[in-house]
Amino acid sequence: MSAHTGPANTGPAHIGTGTTGKEHSGPSRRQAAEVPRPDQESVALNPVFARPGETTELPRFRLPRQESLPETAYQIVHDEAMLDGNARLNLATFVGTWMDDDANRLYLEAADKNMIDKDEYPRTAEIETRCARMLADLWHAPDPQRCPGTSTIGSSEACMLAGLALKRRWTHARRAAGRSSDRPNLVMSSAVQVCWEKFCNYWDVEMRQVPVSADLKVLDGHRLDEYIDDHTIGVVAIMGVTYTGMYEPVAEISAALDAIQESTGLDVRIHVDGASGAMIAPLPPAGSGVGLPGGPGGVDQHLRPQVRAGLPGPGMGGLARQPVPAR
């Protein structure tokens, strides 16, 4: 968008190609007005922009011929984006509903950095590493300083990376044992967020869903053995479930997997999709005796979660993993 250049904005009242038919040579103006082609659609502007000289229509899919006032361009995009969800009204689990001004300032200050380029932005990369270690420490990883972790653009990306880590670990183990690594599957409740469906689609993993119902609202390890076999790359546990906010009892799922391992030898790991709970669940009220497997202050050594942390503003996630010793 060009900067406002005053008089230059005194162009024609319509620059869109839609129903105005100004910019195509095919059908007559009248035909175009009756049946606009998709590429001729234009964005109708609210009358609030109808100041003298200001355009009242902009093409939807092409750069406009004329320049616009910067504040008009801003308002058009702002108004359209407003139709997306409003975090303050959000009762689902996936975003914080409010961030304080200082956090918002930090977000804005990072907007001109490309976080994937760690060489260009070493200081930000260093802060990222420290955050991953804090998360590992929060989840009582045995050695947080050696714990690999990364920031992600949101929870979906964190779930993709976690799923890939599970798949890779399983594939390596199968190859080392001289066995086939095709037809992997991932077990989860039927109330998972759609990003898990995407993961299974993108990386050719069979999605095995344990149905939730009014009686069985979360995946809790019950009859888990019916879904697990030697092609299972992992089990997803959610804290909390998108639709209800409920925590899936990771300790019970872990205990069920231990029992399966005892009877079958299968070593299946858990990914904790910590949508809204990853920063809260590890901090049970003092003396409550509840919390992570092993009680407050200790993760069960059999659990080894990969944790995706929610709660900060949207578009932010993290993934930390405990170093995984052989069982």
Ligand X SMILES: Cc1ncc(COP(=O)(O)O)c(C=O)c1O
Give the pair of three-digit tokens for residue 290: 């509840």
How many angstroms from the chain centroid is the CA of residue 101? 23
Q: Taking CB under 6 A as the rule, does residue 40 contact ligand X?
A: no
- Alpha carbon distances (Å) from 98 to 90, 242, 243, 254: 10, 18, 19, 33
Residue 92 as a binder of ligand X (CB under 6 A): the answer is yes
The contacts of residue 102 (CB under 8 Å, 6+ apart) are none
| 8 Å CB contact between 151 and 127 | no
Judged by CB under 6 A, the residue of 64, 72, 94, 160 near ligand X is: 94
Residue 18 or residue 317: which is nearer to ligand X going by CB? Answer: 317
Tell me the site size for ligand X, rule CB under 6 A.
14
The secondary structure of residue 125, as a DSSP letter, is: H
Nearer to ligand X, 241 or 260 (CB): 241
Q: How far is the CB of 156 from ligand X (least distance, A)?
A: 3
Q: E-assigned strands of the chain?
A: 42-44, 57-59, 149-152, 185-189, 206-210, 232-238, 270-273, 306-308, 317-321
Q: Single out the segment in contact with ligand X by CB under 6 A; choices: 73-81, 148-156, 252-260, 288-296.
A: 148-156
CA 219/CA 209 separation, integer angstroms: 9
CB of 43 to ligand X, least distance (A): 27
Q: Which is nearer to ligand X, 9 or 93 (CB)?
A: 93
Based on the number of CB atoms within 10 Å of its own CB, is 53 exposed (0-12), middle (13-18) or buried (19 or more)? middle
Tell the smallest beta-carbon distance from residue 91 to ligand X (Å): 11
Determine, following the binding rule CB under 6 A, whether residue 142 of this chain makes contact with ligand X. Answer: no
- Report the residue from 40, 68, 156, 306 that binds ligand X according to the rule CB under 6 A: 156
Asked if 86 and 96 count as a contact pair (C-beta separation under 8 A), the reply is: no
Give yes or no for a contact between 162 and 319, defined as CB atoms under 8 angstroms apart.
Answer: yes
- Where does this chain touch ligand X (CB under 6 A) — which range of 3-11, 130-138, 153-161, 251-259? 153-161
Q: Which is nearer to ligand X, 144 or 163 (CB)?
A: 163
**Minimum distance from CB of 87 to ligand X (Å)?**
11
Q: Does 155 bind ligand X (CB under 6 A)?
A: yes
CB of 202 to ligand X, least distance (A): 14
Q: Given the complex with ligand X, which of 94 and 231 has the nearer CB atom?
A: 94
- For residue 84 the two structure tokens come to 């997306």
Q: Is 232 in the site for ligand X (CB under 6 A)?
A: no
Q: What residues numbered 267-286 form the site for ligand X, per CB under 6 A? A: 273, 275
| 238 binding ligand X? (CB under 6 A) | yes
Q: Does 306 bind ligand X (CB under 6 A)?
A: no
Q: Which two tokens stand for residue 65?
A: 């011929």
Interactions with ligand X, residue window 62-91 (CB under 6 A): none
When asked if residue 248 is in the footprint of ligand X (CB under 6 A), the reply is no
Q: Is 236 helix (H, G, I), strand (E, B) or coil?
A: strand
Q: Does 193 bind ligand X (CB under 6 A)?
A: yes
Among 20, 55, 93, 306, binds ligand X (CB under 6 A): 93
Report whether 272 contacts 305 (CB < 8 A): yes
For 80, how many CA atoms within 13 A lie in the half-sphere containing its CB? 9
Instruction: Please give the backbone phi and psi of residue 99, each rounded to the nearest 5 degrees, phi first.
Output: -130, 145
Give residues in contact with ligand X (CB under 6 A). Answer: 92-94, 154-156, 159, 193, 195, 238, 242, 273, 275, 317
